[in-house]
Amino acid sequence: MNRIMIVDDEQDLREMINLMMTKEGYETEMAQDGIDFLKKNDNFQPDIVTLDVMMPGLTTKDILEELKDKYNKPKIILLTVVRFSDEEKEKLFKMGNVVDYITKPFDVDELMTTIKDNSVD
Amino acid sequence: MNEGEPEIVKFLRDEERLGKLHSKLQSSYKELEILDKPLENVSDDMVNVISDTGRKTRYSELDGLEEKYKTIFENSAVAITLTDKNERIILWNKYTEDLLGMNKDDLYMKPVELLYPPEEWRRIRSENVRQKGMQHHLETKMVRKNNELIDVDISLSVLKNHKGRVIGSVGVIRDITQRKMMELELQIAYEKLEQRVKERTAEILKSNELLKQEINERKKVEWSLKIKDSAIESSINAIVFVDPTGAVTYVNPSFLNMWGYDSEKEILGKSAVKFWHKKELYMEVMEATFNKGGWVGELVAEKSDGALFDTQLSANAVKDEEKNPICMMASFIDITARKKIEEKFRKSQMRIEQQNIQLKKLDKLKSNFLNITSHEIRTPMCSMKGYVQMLLKKTLGDVTEEQKRGLMVILRNVDRLDNLIRDILDISRLESGTMKFITEITDINKMIGEVAETMRLSADLKHVQIDEEMEDKLPELVIDQERIKQVLINIVNNAIKFSPDGTVIIIRAKKEEENVLFEVQDFGRGIPGDKQKKIFETFYQVDYSMDRTFGGAGLGLAISRGIVLAHGGSIWVESKLGKGSTFGFTLPVKSVKDVEGRFREVDVFMVETDSEEKENNLRMGEYINNEEWVRENE
């Protein structure tokens, strides 16, 4: 069973993805910001994380930095409004853990495919 | 008979007397040693005269006369010679001997010709002939015994007997050598004098010339002094001359005007410190001028009524020939006006500085605003879209056909809204120069292929065909592929919109000099000439009704234009009503160095995630529309 953590400061969106993935048979957990995520990460130990790029509190960079030291290193799918340049993509992906990104608003199917591609099975 | 002739000559003209004398003389021949030769060649006439018996009685008469005349003859300071009709010397006086350095042997019965240089004799001869025996005189030369030539003046007359026949001639000779020499000397002296006069005249003329030149020079100098004088007098600058003691020796009218004095009388002779506000500065100026040659700077001056005003002073020392300063010339410009302007300028500079800072702040705010807006608007749409899609997929349970239709409407409109927002954000970013471009090396052929493929889905709905006409190996371009695709998609979308069913749309691409040329041709209704430029403007729609049906706010072409221009290309349309349109744009082969740099970067990581800042920025949205804020920061 795959465990997925949905990190987004938008409640509606959080719950939507949560619902979607639950229907798909994933074990889900939600977090509302970076700190919340890092806390829950140790406990829940997700395999995949959908991470909203623009959240209050810790910046994405900080979150990814923190993750490096953690025992549990889930695969991160970034949900972003902006496009990344190749340079930024490289930077992100180098930080380890980031496997892909999806632009908002996304197709449900698109998100699903990406998550599934990175799931263990 | 001429006056001034010597007596002897007069006597000698008297032939009777002469005859008588001759007889007497003859009888005395034996006594006189002059003659040692018998008179062989004495002329007949002479003989006749001699044999005249009546002569004896005359002799005593003649004795006294003879003595008299003999004395005259002998003591004369002129040479007198008598010649016979054969031109032989028969009689002469002592002076003749002295003059010629000759004695009896040299003279008696010698041809008188011998006494003259040949050319002179010829002259005498011809003169004689010309004169026909009349008495005449001329200047000639004679030859002395030692062959020395002397200049003489000769009076010649012929002797005639009582019958009128020429019996000889007499010449009275004056030595004019001296005279001649003197004449020559005189001539030389005269010539010398003339020469000297000439020289002198020349000198004088030259001197004159030089003098004239000097006068001209002086005049020039005078003129320039006059001009300088009047320049000083009429200068707008106030000019003052101050002597080393500090007393004013001259002021020009501008000074009177600037300082508010009515006449120079109030100022001349007074100490110049009176016109300065600060005495120390005045001393400094005086010292600098007289010791170092000059002073330049600003100083505060004091008018006649005590009012102060700013001036710019330029002072220099006027020097004499030995470079000693003899007085100071001070030139003032009233800089009150200038200072005001400077102050104004400084103030306006400050204002501009402040405005700049404000603008920069505003820019940042705007940039942040766009980012926030982008995020804030898109996020709700995520949920909307997500749920609708899930419902349609029946993830949340069954849906009826009617419900499905309804959901599809929602979905379509969410998409429409999303596109609209995307366009608005794009145009905002393009206009504010904050659009971020992500450039990469792009395979053009592949890119066009992908676009065509994507667009065929909607084209097929109208039975519109999309053809590709590309050169085989188009150069790879360094461009923002996503955005250029956006441009192509936008243009092709329009083409599909305006193409009647069953027509074709052609997408072309070819290399043209330093660019790659892209063209999208449709065979729709075309665009009227006056609208062909306007369609690239923001919010402009050729056909409102049509566009509303298909969605779009008239931003597509404006955005496309912005993207193309940012890449260093150009975009246009060629169209003929009824025939169709061809939209074209170029992209340079050499990438515009800094496509990203042309528009300031929007660094994703920099967008605030700090809650406080985010909160502020949210409030900022209110602010921007708040008039108060705007006025505050003017």
pLDDT digits (tens, 9 = 90+) for A96-117: 788 888 888 888 899 999 999 8
Q: Are B381 and B422 in contact (CB under 8 A)?
A: no
Contact of B413 with chain A, judged by CB distance below 8 Å, is answered with no
B519: which 2 tokens?
Answer: 């063209």
| Gap between the Cα atoms of B508 and B513, Å rounded | 16
- Predicted TM-score of the model (pTM): 0.49
Cα–Cα distance list, A44 to A25, A48, A70 (Å): 16, 11, 13
Q: Scanning the structure block, which residue is given the tokens 């000759």?
A: B102
Contact of A102 with chain B, judged by CB distance below 8 Å, is answered with no
Q: Are B141 and B156 in contact (CB under 8 A)?
A: no
Q: Cβ of A104 and B440 within 8 Å?
A: no
The string over B601-611, giving b where at least 16 C-beta atoms fall within 10 Å of a residue's C-beta and e elsewhere, is ebebeebbbee
The amino acid occupying position B221 is V
Q: Mind giving me the DSSP string for B166-225?
A: EEEEEEEEEE-HHHHHHHHHHHHHHHHHHHHHHHHHHHHHHHHHHHHHHHHHHHHHHHHH
Q: Are B332 and B237 in contact (CB under 8 A)?
A: yes
Nearest to B82 by CA among B3, B28, B155, B144: B155
| Gap between the Cα atoms of B507 and B268, Å rounded | 93
Q: Cβ of A58 and B609 within 8 Å?
A: yes
Pick the more confident residue, B271 or A27: A27
Contact of A19 with chain B, judged by CB distance below 8 Å, is answered with yes
Is the ipTM higher than 0.90? The answer is: no
Contact of B381 with chain A, judged by CB distance below 8 Å, is answered with yes
The amino acid occupying position A83 is R
Q: What's the CA angle centered on A43, arms A40 and A49, to 5 degrees?
A: 55
Order of strands, edge to edge, in the sheet holding B79-84? B89-92, B79-84, B166-175, B149-160, B136-143
With 0-12 / 13-18 / 19 or more C-beta atoms within 10 angstroms meaning exposed / middle / buried, residue B422 is: middle
Query: Residue B515 in 3-state DSSP?
Result: strand
Nearest to B617 by CA among B381, B428, B326, B370: B370
Contact of A12 with chain B, judged by CB distance below 8 Å, is answered with yes
Closest residue in B to A9 (Cα–Cα): B379
Nearest to B10 by CA among B170, B186, B188: B170
Contact of B485 with chain A, judged by CB distance below 8 Å, is answered with no
DSSP character at residue B476: P
pLDDT confidence of residue B601: 32
Q: Of all helices (H) and strands (E), which one includes residue B244?
A: none
Displacement of CA A87 from its chain's centroid (Å): 20
B360: which 2 tokens?
Answer: 């920069």
> Phi and psi at residue B422, in whole multiples of 5°?
-60, -45
Q: Of all helices (H) and strands (E), which one includes residue B164?
A: none
What's the distance, Cα to Cα, between the start and end of chain B in Å?
A: 138
Alpha-carbon torsion B552, B555, B557, B560, what sign?
Answer: negative
Q: Cβ of B438 and A84 within 8 Å?
A: yes
| Gap between the Cα atoms of B330 and B295, Å rounded | 9
Query: Residue B123 in 3-state DSSP?
Result: helix
From the CA atom positions of chain B, what is the Rg in Å? 70
Q: Of all helices (H) and strands (E), which one includes residue B298?
A: strand B294-302
| Gap between the Cα atoms of A35 and A63, Å rounded | 8
Q: Cβ of B605 and A61 within 8 Å?
A: yes
User: Which of A82, A86, A104 has its CB closest to that of B440?
Assistant: A86
**Chain A contact set for B420 (CB, 8 A):** none
**Region at B260 (left for phi over 0; alpha for psi -120 to 50; beta for the rest):** left
Query: Residue B533 in 3-state DSSP?
Result: coil
Contact of A94 with chain B, judged by CB distance below 8 Å, is answered with no
Closest residue in B to A33 (Cα–Cα): B609
Q: Are strands B238-242 and B248-251 parallel, antiparallel or unpaired?
A: antiparallel
pLDDT confidence of residue B510: 92
> Phi and psi at residue B334, in whole multiples of 5°?
-75, 110
Average pLDDT over residues A76-101: 80
Bond from prior residue into B38 cis (ω within 30 degrees of 0)? no
> Phi and psi at residue B487, in whole multiples of 5°?
-60, -50
User: Which of A12, A20, A56 has its CB closest to that of B609?
Assistant: A56
Closest residue in A to B606 (Cα–Cα): A59
Contact of A10 with chain B, judged by CB distance below 8 Å, is answered with yes
The amino acid occupying position B205 is L
Q: Which residues of chain B have pLDDT under 70?
A: 1-5, 8, 11-12, 25-66, 133, 539-553, 591-634
Nearest to B238 by CA among B343, B310, B307, B318: B310
Q: Cβ of A104 and B604 within 8 Å?
A: no
Contact of A95 with chain B, judged by CB distance below 8 Å, is answered with no
Q: Mind giving me the DSSP string for B491-538?
A: HHHHHHHHSPTT-EEEEEEEEETTEEEEEEEE-SS---GGGTTGGGST
Q: Are B334 and B342 in contact (CB under 8 A)?
A: no
Q: Mind giving me the DSSP string for B445-481?
A: HHHHHHHHHHHHHHHHHTT-EEEEEE-TTPPPEEE-H
Q: Are B583 and B560 in contact (CB under 8 A)?
A: no
Q: Are B586 and B560 in contact (CB under 8 A)?
A: no
The amino acid occupying position B228 is K
| Gap between the Cα atoms of A22 and B378, Å rounded | 24
> Phi and psi at residue A99, in whole multiples of 5°?
-110, -25
Nearest to B278 by CA among B257, B308, B258: B308
**Chain B contact set for A51 (CB, 8 A):** none
